[in-house]
Amino acid sequence: MISLYSKACKFFNWEEGAEPLILPVTENPNLPKVVAKKYALVCDRIPGKPSESIASYGAILSRGLVKSPTLNRVIQLSAELSYIKSSDIVRLNPGGGEVRTLFRSDSDHNSILVTERCNSFCLMCSQPPREIDDSYLIEDACEVIKKIPRSTRSLGITGGEPTLLGEGFLRIVRSAARYLPETHLHVLTNGRTFSQRVNSVALKDVGHPNLVLGIPLYSDLPERHDFVVQAAGAFEETIRGIMNLRRDGQNIELRVVIHKQTYARLPELARFIVRNLAFVEHVAFMGLEITGFTKANFGALWIDPYEYRSELDEACRILQSARVKTMLYNHQLCILTPFVRELSVNSISDWKNDYLEKCAPCDRKNDCGGFFSTGFSLEKTSNHISPFISSNRIIPFEEIA
Amino acid sequence: MMSEAVNGLAKKFNPPEHYYSTQKQEARYKLLPFNFERVGDSYLLTNEVGEYLFLSEGDLHSLVHETLDSQSEVYNSLKSRHFLYEVGSEAAIELLSLKLRTKHAVFRQFTSLHIFVVSLRCDYSCPYCQVSRQTGDADKYDMDEETALRSLDFVFRTPSEHIKIEFQGGEPLLNWEIIKFTVLEAEKINKTEKRDLAFVIATNLTLISDEILEFCYQHDIFISTSLDGPAHIHNRNRPRPGKNGHQIVRDQIERVREKLGPDRISALMTTSELSLSHPREIIDEYLDANFKGIFLRPLSPYGFAVKTRQIEKYDFDRFFEFYQESMEYIFEINEAGISFVEEFSALLLRKISLPYPTGYVDLQSPAGAGISAIVFSYDGDVYASDESRMLAEMGDYKFRLGNILSNTYEEIFFESGLLEILEETLTDSVPECYQCAYKPYCGSEPVYHYATQKDPVGNKALSGFCKKTKTITNYLLDIMENDPAKRKILQSWI
C-alpha cells in the first residue's frame, strides 16, 4: 500500500502563515528561474553549497535527512512519501505540516476528491461523508487539473457527492474538458441531482468529450436501494437522473457493490438493468472494501464472496446475454465460477492492492482482482481462497524413466 | 429476506423497514397493463414490453383485487417488472414508457430489406418449392436493367440507414449479369447516399464460379444457401438433374468459405415429411458442414408446397415433436462443449429477454410486410413480402402492391391497400391477439392468414402461426424457469 498523505514530513524555513501550495514535482535542478518557481524540486539530499537557481524553486523536497538548511521552503519527506518523483503533483500545507500526493504520474488510478459532503449515507461507504465547508477543494481541483500532464490516460473525480458542488462541479468538469480533453474523466456520483433535468443539461453544455459517470445501483427494488444508501427516495432520483443523463447523451457506468444486503437479488437487478437501463456503457460489480462505514456495519455487510458466486454467475449471464458489458472488480479469481472469471478485471487502485501469503504460488495472480489493502480488507477474506497451480508442470526425465 | 431483521448495523443507521413507502403498508398499488394465460397449473403474465412472470391462480386473484401482500416475493417481482406500481413512483411509469418507445423504434427505420427476384428460372425441381419455379426461356422470367434501375430508385427512397438488398429466385445466379449490374449501380448511388449497404445472394450454389466469388469478395456480398440434411434427405427434398445436389452444395460451401471467409455463408433447412424422422442426422449434417447453428423451419403454405400437397403431409404437432427431438440433441451438443444454436428459438428468446426490437420481420406488429421488407419481382411487380409473391405465383394478387415501371413510390405505399391491411391486422386490436399473453413475442402475419384462411386477420384459434409461436414460447419459457443447466445454454444464444 502506498500512502498518499503524511503529517510526518518536516517543514523548514516557511514564512509564517504561508498558504498551501499545489506544485508539480521535478527532479531537474537546472530549470530557468522563471520556470523553477512553479515547481517543487525533489532530491535525495540538499546540496551542501546550493546554487542560486535552486533557491528559486517553489519548494524543495528532500528524501534524505535535512539539517538546518539555508534555503527557504524546504521539506524533509517522510519515508512513506519517498516515492514522489518527476511529474507527480503535491499539495504542501505548511500551516498543518501536511504533504499530500494529488497525482502520481506512474498510476492509472489518479482521482481527485472534490468534496466530503454527501446526500447519501451508504452502509459501506469507504469515504464517510462529513458536513464541513470544504469548498476550497474546488479551487484545488481546478489547480491540479491545470498541472496534470495532457498525456494522462484517465482521471477520477470523487467525493462525497461531487454534484452537490453545483456550479463548482461544472467548473471542475469544464476545467478537465479544456485542459485534459484526451483524458478519460470518470466521475463517481449517485446521480440524484440529475433527476432535475436542468443539471444534466448543464453537464451536457460543458461538452466534455471523454466523460463517464459511475453511478451506484444496489437493487431493483426502491426500498432496498434506499436502505443501502440510507436515503428515502434515492432510488427514484437515481433512476430519473440516469434517464436524464441518457437523454443528454452521457456515458454511464452502473456500479454495484456486493454484500449481504445486496447479493440475494443480483439476478433480479441484472434483469432490471437489461430491461430498463441496457443503454449503459457497462455494469461493474465490486467486492466489499472493509474500511470506512463497512467496519462499523461489518456484521450486516460481510458475506464470504464464495457464498454468492451462483447469484453473481446468474446475474452476469443475464447481462452478457443482452450484450451489456459486464466487469467484475476486486474479486479473487479462485472464488468465482469459470463464466464470471472471464469478466474479472484487475482493477483495485494500484496504491491499495495486495495479495495474501497463500497466493504466492498462484499462477493467475497477474490476472487476479486481488485484495484491498485498506482497513481490515486483508484480515477478512473468503475462506475459499486457493491458489491456481498449473498441473502441466514439465515432468523431469528421471520421473518418466 | 425483506422482513428479516438486519443484525450488525451500527446505531446511526436505519433498518430496512424505515424505507418502506407508507403506501406500501396499505398496499396502495395500481396495476399496469398486462395480459395473462393459463399454462399448466399457473398463469403466464406478460406486459406491453415483453416482461413476464408466472403466477399462481391465488396470487393472480390477489393482484387484480389489489390485496397482494406487499412484503411478498411475488409483489416485489411484479413491481420490479412493472406489472404494478406504487402510487407516487414516477420512475416506474417513465421507465415503462421508455421501454415501449424502444420496442417500437424499429418502425422509424421503415423498409430495410429489399428483395430482388432476378429470375424465376431454376435448375432444381423441389416439390416443396414455395415460389413455383419456371423452366421457360430467359426473356420471359428474368429481370432486365430497366426494372433493376427503377427498383433501385425505389430502394433509396427508404429513410432507413441500413439497406439490405437480397437477390432471390428461382435461382438468381441464372441471371448473374443483372445481379452484377444492380450491385454496381447501387454502389454508384450510395456514393452520395452513404447508407449502410449490404448484399445477399440466396442461391443453390450450382453456378458459383471463381468470377462470381471474386465479385462477391470485392463487393462484400453474403451468400445464403439451402441444406436440408444428409444426401438421402437433401437429394429427395431438392431434386435436380444428376441427383447430386447434396454433393454440389457441400463442395461449394467450402469453396465459398475459402474465397469469402468462413462466416460469409449461411444455410437454411426446410422440413419435409421425410425430414421429420431424421432430426439427429440433419443436425449432424450442419455440424459436419461447420455451421454454428440451424434454423428449424417448417414448410410454408405457398407455391408448389400447396400444389403438390406437401404442406398437408404433416401438421404443427408433428413438427413440434421434431423440434423437441432436435432441441434435445442440440442441448446434448452444447453440453458437450460445442456452441450450436437453434435460430428460431434464439429469435424468440431475444424477443422474450431483450428490451429492444429484434428486427425479425415475421414476428412484428404492424406486420413487416411491405414496410420492413419489400419484394421487386423480375417483371417489375412489387410485393409486400416473399410470401406475397408466392401467393401471386398461385394466381392470387391480393398483396401485389403495384408495378415498378408504372407506379410511383407513393402509389405503391398509399394506394395499394397495404396500409389498411397492416392497420386491420395490428395485434393490439385484433380479436384474440389484443388480450393474448404471447402478444409481445408474436406478430401479425396477414399474408399467412390470408393464404390459409382467406382473411388477413384470421381466426387465431385455427391459426398454425399462432400455435407455433405459443407452443415454442411455452417450451422455451419452461426451460428458462425450471431447468438451470439448459437455461445457461439458451442464455448463450441470446
**How much is the mean pLDDT over chain A?**
92
A341, part of any domain: yes
Give the C-alpha separation, A55 to A70, whole Å. Answer: 9
| Domain ranges, residue A67 | 5-103
Helices (H), B210-293: 210-218, 231-237, 245-260, 279-288
Q: Which of A317, A322, A308 is nearest to A265 (CA)?
A: A308
Nearest CA in chain A to B21: A223
* A227 and B CB contact within 8 Å: yes
pLDDT value of residue B480: 97
- Name the residue facing B51 among A221, A235, A275 (closest C-beta): A275
The region of weakest confidence among A109-113, A180-184, B196-200, B313-317 is B313-317
A234 and A187 in a single domain? The answer is yes
A194 and A309 in a single domain? The answer is yes
Tally A–B CB contacts below 8 A: 97
pLDDT beyond 90 at A370: no
Reduce the DSSP state of residue B115 to 3 states and report it.
strand
pLDDT value of residue A380: 84
pLDDT value of residue A349: 65
pLDDT value of residue A392: 56
**How much is the mean pLDDT over chain B?**
92
- Name the residue facing B7 among A243, A300, A321 (closest C-beta): A300
A397, part of any domain: no
pLDDT beyond 80 at A351: no
The predicted model gives B103-122 an average pLDDT of 91
ipTM of the complex: 0.90
| A275 contacts B49? CB cut-off 8 A | yes
Q: What is the percent of chain B with per-residue pLDDT over 70, rounded to a whole number?
A: 96
Q: Total domain count for chain A? A: 2
Nearest CA in chain B to A324: B354
A123 and A228 in a single domain? The answer is yes
Give the minimum alpha-carbon distance from B357 to chain A in angstroms, rounded to a whole number.
12
For strands B42-47 and B52-55, give the pairing.
antiparallel
**Best mutation site among A227, A237, A273, A323 for testing chain B: the one with the most B CBs within 10 Å?**
A227
| A322 contacts B494? CB cut-off 8 A | yes
pLDDT value of residue A201: 98
Give the minimum alpha-carbon distance from A10 to chain B in angstroms, rounded to a whole number.
39
Angle CA(A168)–CA(A174)–CA(A175) in degrees, nearest 5? 90
pLDDT value of residue A399: 55
| B81 contacts A297? CB cut-off 8 A | no
A224, part of any domain: yes
Binning pLDDT at 50, 70 and 90, where does residue B362 land? confident
Q: What are the CA-CA distances from residue A233 to residues A111, A129, B178, B296 (Å)?
A: 29, 19, 64, 49
A204, part of any domain: yes
Q: What is the percent of chain A with per-residue pLDDT over 90, rounded to a whole number?
A: 78
| B91 contacts A240? CB cut-off 8 A | yes
Q: Are B491 and B481 in contact (CB under 8 A)?
A: no
**Per DSSP, what are the bridge partners of residue B165?**
B114, B199
Binning pLDDT at 50, 70 and 90, where does residue A39 land? very high
Q: Which of A234, A168, A175 is nearest to A199 (CA)?
A: A168
What residues of B are in contact with residue A264 (Cβ under 8 Å)?
A: 1
Q: Cell 450488525 sits at which residue? A: B8
A34 and A87 in a single domain? The answer is yes
What CATH number corresponds to the domain at position A69? 3.50.30
Give the C-alpha separation, A162 to A139, whole Å. Answer: 13
A167 and A307 in a single domain? The answer is yes
**Best mutation site among A194, A218, A276 for testing chain B: the one with the most B CBs within 10 Å?**
A276
Give the C-alpha separation, A109 to A370, whole Å. Answer: 15
pLDDT beyond 50 at A178: yes
| B13 contacts A123? CB cut-off 8 A | yes
The predicted model gives A124-152 an average pLDDT of 94
Binning pLDDT at 50, 70 and 90, where does residue A52 land? confident
A342 and A252 in a single domain? The answer is yes
| B98 contacts A243? CB cut-off 8 A | yes
| B254's grid cell | 467450402
A135 and A157 in a single domain? The answer is yes
Q: Are B119 and B143 in contact (CB under 8 A)?
A: yes
Give the C-alpha separation, B444 to B177, whole Å. Answer: 37
Give the C-alpha separation, B91 to B106, whole Å. Answer: 24
| B1 contacts A221? CB cut-off 8 A | no
Give the model confidence (pLDDT) of A72-94 as tens digits.
999 999 999 999 999 999 999 99
Q: Which domains does chain B have, with CATH numbers?
A: 27-104 (no CATH), 111-414 (3.20.20.70), 426-481 (no CATH)
Interface of A with B in 56-85 (CB under 8 A): none
The predicted model gives A101-107 an average pLDDT of 94
A86 and A127 in a single domain? The answer is no
pLDDT beyond 70 at A400: no
Give the model confidence (pLDDT) of B261-315 as tens digits.
999 999 999 999 999 999 999 999 999 999 999 999 998 887 777 777 777 788 8
A194, part of any domain: yes
What CATH number corresponds to the domain at position A243? 3.20.20.70
A136 and A85 in a single domain? The answer is no
* A48 and B CB contact within 8 Å: no
pLDDT value of residue B87: 84
CB under 8 Å to B490, separation ≥6 — which residues?
A: B345, B349, B476, B479, B480
**Best mutation site among B1, B2, B7, B13 for testing chain A: the one with the most A CBs within 10 Å?**
B13
pTM here is: 0.91
Binning pLDDT at 50, 70 and 90, where does residue B3 land? very low
- Name the residue facing A223 among B20, B51, B492 (closest C-beta): B20
Q: Are A212 and A186 in contact (CB under 8 A)?
A: yes
| A400's grid cell | 518418466
A19 and A62 in a single domain? The answer is yes
A377, part of any domain: no
Binning pLDDT at 50, 70 and 90, where does residue A181 land? very high
A68 and A120 in a single domain? The answer is no
pLDDT beyond 90 at A147: yes
Task: Give the alpha-carbon dihedral of A102, A107, A108, A111, to 10 degrees.
Answer: -20
Q: Is the dihedral of CA A37, A40, A44, A48 positive or negative?
A: positive
pLDDT value of residue B2: 44
- Name the residue facing B354 among A220, A268, A322 (closest C-beta): A322
| A299 contacts B8? CB cut-off 8 A | yes
Q: Which of B125, B312, B402, B77 is nearest to A275 (CA)?
A: B77
| A301 contacts B353? CB cut-off 8 A | no
Give the minimum alpha-carbon distance from B68 to chain A in angstroms, rounded to a whole number.
16
A76 and A186 in a single domain? The answer is no
Binning pLDDT at 50, 70 and 90, where does residue B23 land? very low
Give the model confidence (pLDDT) of B323-333 as tens digits.
999 999 999 99
| A240 contacts B90? CB cut-off 8 A | yes
Nearest CA in chain B to A240: B91
**Per DSSP, what are the bridge partners of residue A345?**
A329
- Name the residue facing B76 among A221, A298, A300 (closest C-beta): A221
Give the model confidence (pLDDT) of A2-15 as tens digits.
889 999 999 999 99
| A276 contacts B95? CB cut-off 8 A | yes
What residues of A are in contact with residue B480 (Cβ under 8 Å)?
A: none
Q: What is the percent of chain B with per-residue pLDDT over 90, rounded to a whole number?
A: 77
Q: What are the CA-CA distances from residue B476 to residues B325, B347, B349, B351, B353 (Å)?
A: 14, 11, 8, 12, 11
A180, part of any domain: yes
pLDDT beyond 50 at A386: yes
Q: Is B454 left (phi over 0), alpha (psi -120 to 50) or beta?
A: left
| A301 contacts B51? CB cut-off 8 A | no
A378, part of any domain: no
Give the C-alpha separation, A155 to A177, whole Å. Answer: 12
What residues of B are in contact with residue A278 (Cβ under 8 Å)?
A: 354-356
Give the model confidence (pLDDT) of B232-258 as tens digits.
999 999 999 888 999 999 999 999 999
Q: Is B162 left (phi over 0), alpha (psi -120 to 50) or beta?
A: beta
| B491 contacts A321? CB cut-off 8 A | yes
Which residues of B lie closer than 8 Å to A, measured between beta carbons? 1-2, 6-10, 13-16, 18-21, 24, 49, 51, 76-77, 79-81, 86, 89-91, 94-95, 98-99, 353-356, 488, 491-492, 494
* A278 and B CB contact within 8 Å: yes
